[in-house]
Amino acid sequence: MSNVSLPIGGRNFAVSCADGEEAHIEMLGRMIDERARKIGGQQSETRMLLFAALMMADELHEAHRASPAPVAVPTPPPAPAPAPAEIDPAVVDRVNTLAERIEKLAVALEQGPVSA
């Protein structure tokens, strides 16, 4: 964690940020300071920062309104599924035989042990 000192409107503000984010935070601070200086006057910190935030929010709103709407890119239709391959009848018979054995085992397990 790092600390950055941001001079905004003639006042210094200490801000904590993640390591490596110092330059980005300083750049954002300069943007806020630019708007705060446009406001000028001897206002409280709260009002100065409020007006700077309002100016930036208005600029962001205008940028969103001025940007063109995203263009929808049509997606191609999915490819048709391939036809199922022929199944060897011997495999079908083997699967059926195994299924019958499994069913018999399930019935035997459900009935429990046979008492003598």
57-96 residue pLDDT tens: 999 999 988 888 777 888 888 888 888 788 888 888 888 8
Residue 84 confidence (pLDDT) = 79
Residue 20 confidence (pLDDT) = 94
The DSSP symbol for 96 reads H
Q: Residue 35: which domain range? A: 2-66
Quote the number of domains for the chain: 1
Report the alpha-carbon distance of residue 49 to residue 41 in Å, rounded.
13
3-class SS of residue 20: coil
Report the alpha-carbon distance of residue 93 to residue 19 in Å, rounded.
67
102 assigned to some structural domain = no
21 assigned to some structural domain = yes
| Paired tokens of 84 | 């199922």
Residue 24 confidence (pLDDT) = 94
104 assigned to some structural domain = no
Report the alpha-carbon distance of residue 7 to residue 46 in Å, rounded.
15
pLDDT in tens, 22-46: 999 999 999 999 888 888 767 788 8
60 assigned to some structural domain = yes
Rg (alpha carbons) of the chain, rounded to whole number:
36
